[in-house]
Structure 1
């Protein structure tokens, strides 16, 4: 796998990947020294292990297919998107959490995750479950920059920050929990004004990342939350997707969180919106096309379906490769692999 340093040009998820016969090749002369992740549980690599939060997964059956079946704090049975993307870019196999007590100085130059399960663009979302809000994730990043400069020097640190890939994945918990399930924000905002709040917060966060040296930023849109197993269960165990607002709200946020809504005054940068809504919806509605069999519930025991996350008593399916979802909210390792490949395959033609 070649690395890349495409001067001043952008998000590697889009910018430098071609998909051919199940592997990703990078254009010549491109260097991606590190991968960083911010946001929620989709890219939380274990930050919540070290927090007094309600959202944890540092126990079995999580992580049963990774790291000798020792749970790492990833909300899946194995690898998650930061791991797959870093591996395809030739950076390293696993992206660690910044607060991992086993993190070594030599791990810093290749990237870490600051993400916290339960976080959202809406600051109140993280407060509800005592997750790490985006503002504190930025503070951790500032602390990281100081450590990086001490480890590799000012000039090399500047190069790493400018040429690395930054993944920003948030919004699902805002929509699914803060607005709908808990409903706190529905007393203050209608659908239109709440999505405006989210987009404004996302834009401000990207601007702050840019000020700290980020130049290649992939902002992931929301999933089809009305089709997630958790939402189906909360709606009474319906087989289809939850109708009306739970479908329309993510679509509205998706339309607003477009390249036109993201910061424009960012010279020598590439800030790209990644549409995950449609690929995941297709995977849910047509699982057989990619070899899955079950997409309306998670791999773990049906008795616990009313719970969004697995618990220590959960019994899991015998073959999670047949399932799109691991628990009621998060995809399996194989589903993540398929989604990452679909994203890379879809966008390369627009960047050639």
Structure 2
């Protein structure tokens, strides 16, 4: 993210003085942090004094800094997507098997999901503060963890209005390797699922096109259940 911000600064300099109006009307979409949660929760040699609160505060402080720097460059409209329930992806379900089967009520890796939920709370507070301090800043924050909870709840995936999604396989990769939950490289030797619209995950980490489409639709049209204080459609129209 820091590297991307530096590249963006160079672009702003190249655009010159006429860039402000364009940038202020543009929508800045930010979805970062999942890999940080993956690596922290499934650390092979975690330190004995590991401090979850300090780790999450570091991530939240980074978010704050990046948003302030973008604002200083003229950005005013931010769509932020918090990390989803990362403990439910195939790689983390498999990781739970290596961590004494530390599963939550969704049968996902508990430590990773707890981090996702706690980070969303911090981000919501930070964005509320920034929205009050930075004149003209507008934002839309997606609670991806809350949205995903309905998808991964045993007994059927449900959407924003308790509408069932056509997602019947929530724990296994569509492009599957030989490991548990289809863990493995998605390459020419992988086994492909027959119907991708049944699967939440394409590979060990990433959602399928169908699942991503459902999430995108929710970002634009959600009435406040998981996207607050306004949805992306409303944000773009400002």
* TM-score normalised by the chain length of structure 1: 0.54
Superposed CA offset, 1:294-326 (max 9, x none): 11111013415333x523422311221111111
* Cα distance in 2 for residues equivalent to 1:201 and 1:290: 34
Please tell me whether residue 172 in structure 1 is matched to residue 34 in structure 2: yes
Superposed CA offset, 1:85-141 (max 9, x none): xxxxxxxxxxxxxxxxxxxxxxxxxxxxxxxxxxxxxxxxxxxxxxxxx21111111
Q: Secondary structure at the match of 2:220?
A: helix
1:171 and 1:198 in contact (8 A); partners too: yes
Q: Which of 198, 203, 209 pairs up with 1:333?
A: 209
Gap change, CA 1:208 and 1:158, over 3 Å in 2: same
Cα RMSD after superposing both structures = 2.7
1:223 and 1:250 in contact (8 A); partners too: yes
Superposed CA offset, 1:210-260 (max 9, x none): 111111012211211121111112223979533542232221111111144
* Cα distance in 2 for residues equivalent to 1:267 and 1:255: 23
Q: Which of 1, 4, 9 pairs up with 1:142?
A: 9
Q: Which residue of 1 aligns with 2:108?
A: 242
Relative CO higher for 1 or 2, CA cutoff 8 Å, sep ≥ 6? 1
1:287 and 1:324 in contact (8 A); partners too: no
Q: Which of 199, 202, 209 pairs up with 1:323?
A: 199
Q: Which residue of 2 aligns with 1:55?
A: none
Q: Which of 164, 169, 175 pairs up with 1:300?
A: 175
Residue ranges of structure 2 left out of the alignment (5+ in a row): 159-163
1:226 and 1:241 in contact (8 A); partners too: no
Residue ranges of structure 1 left out of the alignment (5+ in a row): 1-133
* Cα distance in 2 for residues equivalent to 1:186 and 1:306: 26
Gap change, CA 1:146 and 1:248, over 3 Å in 2: same
Q: Secondary structure at the match of 1:173?
A: helix
1:234 and 1:306 in contact (8 A); partners too: no
* Cα distance in 2 for residues equivalent to 1:209 and 1:184: 35
